[in-house]
Amino acid sequence: MNTKPPTDCAAWAKLAAHAKSLRGTRLAELFSRDAARAASFSAAAPGLRLDYSRQRLNAATLQLLAELATQRGFDDWRRALLAGEALNTTEGRAARHSALRAGDAAPPEVKAALARMCELAARVQTRFRRVVHLGIGGSYLGPRLVADALSVKRDFTLELAWVASPDPLALGRALEGADPAHTLFVVVSKTFTTEETLANAAAAKRWLGERPDVGQHFIAVTADERAARAFGAGEVLPLWDWVGGRYSVWSAASFCALLAIGAGRFEEFLGGARDMDEHFAGAQLERNLPALLALIGVWNVNFLGAATHAVLPYAHALRRLPAYLQQLEMESNGKSVDREGRALGYDTAPVIWGEEGTVGQHSFHQLLHQGTQAVPADFVVAGASRELDAHAEAQAQALAFGTGVTDAALPPHRRCPGNRPSSTLRLERLDARNLGRLLACYEHKVFTQGVIWNLNSFDQWGVELGKQLARKFLSERR
């Protein structure tokens, strides 16, 4: 498969020249020239619709981006991913997270793990009153997002708490008012060596005291069953080395999310991701939502010079989406060497940031509208209310077209320049299936950008360095 630099592709040079030719073109002009632009520059997948008409591009841009994807061997890379080939070359591993949501086609061990999760969930409901999830990074961000987005208080009798930080205050707050006899800890660590998580697990064990049944108060989710048993976990749910942490939301890492939303909705969540896998596998490039998001992102980063990207969910239930995508995108593609170990001469992942939509409007949207940097944005709209939908549409319109651009009577401090790109990703409704579709869509976007930038999107050696140094400092201070 193609592992040459993308800058060697003929389409890359064409895109650079094309960007220069569009430099003076404003979004208002693109809309005035094409009355059907809003309909033409959109695409749909099951449960989702993407409107990218407010991006600073035209049909020629899309054609050149598609040429770049073809020259990068996108079809071959996509086939290899979905076939479970060992694409994580620095660790010699496959990236088979799509197998976790493959339904009837899932590997036997995946089906068995899901059945075990459902069985344990039923038992937990009968014995415990509070469940505390201990994890960090991919062992925390995805499961917490799913639980927050989909749990309904009246359907959920357990008290669920989440702890990622090793600051004792975090665990202390999670345990306020809890009865040790009726408290369960779910320890999620793929390697069972994560310092922060194990520190919290040890503190939890001390809090439980000298109980003869202490092991029954711990469920471990890990690839190292031996280490989990040595710690004293009474139950162990599996992870596999072919599932990266930031891609593990579909696995037993989400046991607490399953507790929160119920086994039926969790299977719907998996089914939604499977729908997106099928769309990604079969849709033509120009109608393929994840691929379009990826190519538009490449255009903004490499040819329009965008260094950051804002994610703005207009639904309180999705308020944790920006944090989830920060890890997914920046840990996957925040790289400065390519698959062959060569230093890069082009930019890769932008800084991902954002906030719940209307909250951000009263915080950083000032910079989005009048700051010196143009920040591309994704508006994620879930039909939570007509008011939220109206705010999202108004913000996207204001970014695109501004005000006072040609009105000399408007004082300078009130002028908004406009011409700032955004896309709107709309869920037909916010439910388990559509949330699965949304998260899988972003996963495939990240993979596609990795293909374009010639990156291994499945390792994270920069993260590993920090872990190693932390262990060294901790050992020196003991």
pLDDT in tens, 338-368: 999 999 999 999 999 999 999 999 999 999 9
Token digits for 369? Answer: 């509208």
pLDDT in tens, 195-239: 999 999 999 999 999 999 999 999 999 999 999 999 999 999 999
pLDDT at 155 > cutoff 70: no
The answer to which of 101-115, 155-169, 314-328 has the lowest mean pLDDT is 155-169
pLDDT of residue 389: 96
Q: Do the Cβ atoms of 449 and 333 come closer than 8 Å?
A: yes
Confidence of residue 55 (pLDDT cuts 50, 70, 90): very high
pLDDT of residue 153: 64
Confidence of residue 152 (pLDDT cuts 50, 70, 90): confident
pLDDT of residue 205: 97
State how far the Cα of 160 lies from the Cα of 137, in Å rounded to an integer. 18
pLDDT in tens, 281-303: 999 999 999 999 999 999 999 99
Confidence of residue 478 (pLDDT cuts 50, 70, 90): low
So where are the chain's domains? 6-91+273-462, 97-261
Exactly one of 14, 111, 316, 467 is catalytic; which is it? Answer: 467
Exactly one of 153, 176, 362, 413 is catalytic; which is it? Answer: 362
Q: In 223-319, at which residue ranges do the beta strands (DSSP E only) sit?
A: 235-238, 308-314
Does 445 participate in catalysis according to the annotation? Answer: no
Closest listed residue to residue 132, CA positions, set 193, 207, 222, 34? 207
State how far the Cα of 381 lies from the Cα of 404, in Å rounded to an integer. 28
pLDDT of residue 424: 98
pLDDT of residue 467: 78
The answer to which of 74-88, 91-105, 146-160, 187-201 has the lowest mean pLDDT is 146-160
Confidence of residue 126 (pLDDT cuts 50, 70, 90): very high
Confidence of residue 254 (pLDDT cuts 50, 70, 90): very high
pLDDT of residue 122: 95
Could you report how far apart the first and last alpha carbons of the chain are, in Å?
A: 49
Widest pairwise Cα distance in the chain: 79
3-state secondary structure of 377: strand
Mean pLDDT of 39-58: 98
Closest listed residue to residue 139, CA positions, set 216, 224, 250? 250
Mean pLDDT of 158-167: 96
Percent of the chain at pLDDT > 70 equals 99
Backbone dihedral angles phi then psi of residue 477, each to the nearest 5 degrees: -100, -5
DSSP symbols for 42-95: EEEETTEEEE-TTSS--HHHHHHHHHHHHHTTHHHHHHHHHTT---BTTTTB--
CA 164 to chain centre: 17
Does 331 participate in catalysis according to the annotation? Answer: yes
pLDDT of residue 463: 87
pLDDT of residue 416: 93
Exactly one of 329, 331, 356, 443 is catalytic; which is it? Answer: 331
Does 111 participate in catalysis according to the annotation? Answer: no
Radius of gyration of the chain from its Cα atoms, rounded to whole angstroms: 23
Closest listed residue to residue 200, CA positions, set 179, 222, 238, 172? 172
pLDDT in tens, 1-34: 999 999 999 999 999 999 999 999 999 999 999 9
CATH topology of domain 6-91+273-462: Rossmann fold (3.40.50)
pLDDT at 475 > cutoff 80: no
Backbone dihedral angles phi then psi of residue 450, each to the nearest 5 degrees: -60, -40
pLDDT at 156 > cutoff 70: no
| Structure-model confidence comparison of residues 384 and 438, the more confident one | 438
Percent of the chain at pLDDT > 90 equals 92
State how far the Cα of 450 lies from the Cα of 201, in Å rounded to an integer. 35
Q: What is the mean pLDDT of the chain?
A: 96
The dotted CATH code for 97-261 is 3.40.50.10490
- Whether 97-261 and 6-91+273-462 are alike in CATH topology: the answer is yes
pLDDT in tens, 371-414: 999 999 999 999 889 999 999 999 999 999 999 777 778 899 99
